[in-house]
Structure 1
Amino acid sequence: MSSFWTIFIVVLVVINIIGCVWLLWWTSKRRPGEPETTGHVWDGDIREYNKPLPKWWINLFYITIVFTIGYLAWYPGLGSFDGYGGWSSTKQHDQEREIEDAKVAAALSPFDGMSIDALASNSKAVEYGRSVFAANCATCHGSDARGAKGFPNLADHSWQWGGDPQTILTSILEGRQAAMPPMAAVLGSDQAVLETAVYAQSLSGTKVDPALAARGKPRFETVCAACHGANGRGNPALGAPDLTDDIWLYGSDFDAIRTAIVQGRAGNMPAHKELIGETRARLVGAWVWSLSKRSTDGEQAGAP
């Protein structure tokens, strides 16, 4: 805060305090003669007198003013003046956070260093993981971890970067940066983009124009296969998704696929190591991995 505003606040506070003291002194004066009236009259002869407050009541107001002066001196209530007590909301917040962090660390310490698959078999660890997820991850992935357009579903069997426990932990701790570059210029024409998009759409079993798909196949194998593979099954090492299943992060309709080819995609999963620490990251990973594992086990159980 600038010195001008500090002076302005100090002067304003001083004027108000002096004004309150003067008002109390003036209204508490006992004047000689007949008591003044307020001018209010009821039933012809009942008048409201303007008599001073009792001394004990006036003294309480004076004590309040003295308390106010002491409070403003001890706490930072006068502009940029820090106060003699050295208190600040930031310091109080940090102190209270340290206390709560210590409690959380003590509660989570039994899970330090445990692997995600081991934690997933511990019901208490999984419950902790769900709570941490709700506080830190649900904004993007949803409270049920099923994601939304542009944010992957973490409860199914499809993992863009790999779904083994260690890879999930790496994704949480270090984050991920997906990069689908714009490919329209490489393909060379709108017709080439159309044909490639149609072929990509056909990989997941969608009914498309077979002639367009046939012309798009060699373009795909020349331009797109470097990341997605010649068969379109993707590459978890690069974060290139499998295009042959029915799981599409941005949508499987033609317009969504064409937009991805023309404009590219740039998904970002921020690193959470500094935000939640390694133990809580492991707990989150355990809960998410347990959801995915149930999904995978369910598919296998239902397979012929």
Structure 2
Amino acid sequence: MSAGWSWYIIALVALNIFGCAWLLWWTAKRRPGDPKPEDTSHYWDGDITEYNKPMPRWWINGFYLLLAFSVVYIFWYGGLGGYEGYGKWSSAGEHALAKAADDARLEETFAPYKGRPIDQIAQDPAAIKLGQAIFNNNCATCHGSSAQGAIGFPNLRDDIWHWGGSPEDILTTILDGREGVMPEWGSVLTGMGGDSAVISVVAYVRSLSDSARSKDYLAVQGQRLYEGVCIACHGVDGKGNQALGAPDLTDDYWLYGDSTAQLVESVSKGRHGVMPAWRDMLGETRARLVGAYVWSLSHPGGETASAAPATQETSPQ
């Protein structure tokens, strides 16, 4: 705050305090010619009389004491522009103290889970409750309060993982985020196979999860185009590549929708999905608790990674 604004506020505060003091002094005095306290001649309804009696002295003195207290309070806590107060108190400092105390309590609460694998943390019901609370506060905006996701936001309750479903992969996803990019292939495919190229690729991709479609004319035409463009990421068999976040095309899960129009848009215009990094926001231990909660959703039996090998299917969780 500039010095000019500080002096303006100081003048305003002083004017208010001295103005209140003067008003008390002026109205408490009786002057020559004032009517007697019992003689004002103001009557209503015949027997209701207004008197000219001053406030009791103890009441007026109480107001003076309140004004004196306000002066001491302002000098101690600040309130005169840029003057921080003799006691050096500030709302920012009070917040920092409260935050430090809360952080210490949280650290004590989270300490038992520090550095532990998330599949082991998932065996602790108390940890699952903590992880769910952190999830609801931070992750439910995209994945929903039930963690079932939406179009463009993966379902966390299934066993499909685009970036890997092992405890380490899930923790890495939460801490450092993921960025999945599906390039635009519309113009490339059209140049290779004409106007029907994109719909032919879509037909072939559908046949990967539905063998009954494999003999369709468009699917047969689309296989050649798929093998010329798509196998670099999704593989010859369409199983995808978790290192790239390329989804498995042989299952029945479609992150951006399974309608023909949605699949055509994915192939022709591409997709760009971003999972933010939460390392700075949550810290590692809270990220482990969230990961344990997410792990528990797709492992309702409570098995650990050592007891049940991680699935090879995919979804960008």
Q: Please state which band the TM-score falls in when normalised by the shorter chain.
A: 0.7 to 0.9
Maintained 8 Å contact 1:177/1:267: yes
Q: Residue type matched to 1:270 in 2?
A: P
Structure 2 residue matching 1:121: 3-state secondary structure: coil
Tell me which residue corresponds to 2:306: none
* Alignment gaps of 5+ in structure 1: 298-304
Q: Residue type matched to 1:214 in 2?
A: V
Moved more, 167-176 or 179-188: 179-188
Distance 1:53 1:207, change over 3 A: farther
Measure the CA separation in 1 of the matches of 2:232 and 2:224: 13
Work out whether 1:150 is the aligned partner of 2:155: no
- Report the CA distance between 1:166 and its aligned residue: 0.9
Tell me which residue corresponds to 1:35: 36
* Deviation per residue, 1:118-137 (Å, 9 max, x gap): 21222222222222222222
Over the aligned positions, Cα root-mean-square deviation in angstroms equals 2.6
Maintained 8 Å contact 2:278/2:287: yes
Tell me which residue corresponds to 1:260: 266
Maintained 8 Å contact 1:169/1:285: yes
* Deviation per residue, 1:9-49 (Å, 9 max, x gap): 33322222222112111111122342378885223354212
Tell me which residue corresponds to 1:121: 123
Measure the CA separation in 2 of the matches of 1:83 and 1:12: 17
Structure 2 residue matching 1:285: 3-state secondary structure: helix
Distance 1:78 1:186, change over 3 A: farther
Maintained 8 Å contact 1:198/1:216: yes
Measure the CA separation in 1 of the matches of 2:23 and 2:96: 42
Tell me which residue corresponds to 2:238: 232
TM-score (norm 2): 0.84
- Report the CA distance between 1:171 and its aligned residue: 0.9
Work out whether 1:194 is the aligned partner of 2:199: yes
Q: Residue type matched to 1:243 in 2?
A: L
Tell me which residue corresponds to 2:309: none
Distance 1:2 1:252, change over 3 A: farther
Maintained 8 Å contact 2:157/2:298: yes
* Alignment gaps of 5+ in structure 2: 304-317
Distance 1:84 1:203, change over 3 A: farther
Tell me which residue corresponds to 1:248: 254
Tell me which residue corresponds to 1:300: none
Tell me which residue corresponds to 2:163: 161
Q: Map 1:83-232; keep pairs closer than 5 Å.
A: 83-188=85-190, 190-205=195-210, 210-232=216-238
* Deviation per residue, 1:200-243 (Å, 9 max, x gap): 34433398793333222222221122111222221111111112
Distance 1:19 1:202, change over 3 A: farther
Measure the CA separation in 2 of the matches of 1:283 and 1:66: 54
Maintained 8 Å contact 1:169/1:282: yes
- How many residue pairs were aligned? 297
Tell me which residue corresponds to 1:23: 23
Structure 2 residue matching 1:177: 3-state secondary structure: strand
Distance 1:296 1:261, change over 3 A: farther
- Report the CA distance between 1:4 and its aligned residue: 4.0
Q: Residue type matched to 1:9 in 2?
A: I
Work out whether 1:73 is the aligned partner of 2:79: no
Tell me which residue corresponds to 2:307: none
TM-score (norm 1): 0.87
Structure 1 residue matching 2:50: 3-state secondary structure: strand
Maintained 8 Å contact 2:35/2:52: no
Tell me which residue corresponds to 2:7: 7
Distance 1:45 1:55, change over 3 A: same
Equivalent residue in structure 2 for 1:54, among 50, 53, 56: 56
Q: Map 1:265-280; keep pairs closer than 5 Å.
A: 265-280=271-286
Moved more, 206-215 or 56-65: 206-215
Measure the CA separation in 1 of the matches of 2:258 and 2:301: 21
Maintained 8 Å contact 2:175/2:278: yes
Measure the CA separation in 2 of the matches of 1:78 and 1:179: 55
Measure the CA separation in 2 of the matches of 1:174 and 1:95: 30
Report which structure shows greater RCO (CA 8 Å, sep ≥6): 2
Q: Residue type matched to 2:234 in 1?
A: H
- Report the CA distance between 1:150 and its aligned residue: 1.5
Distance 1:45 1:279, change over 3 A: closer
- Report the CA distance between 1:263 and its aligned residue: 2.9
- Report the CA distance between 1:179 and its aligned residue: 1.4
Measure the CA separation in 2 of the matches of 1:114 and 1:196: 44
Moved more, 242-251 or 199-208: 199-208
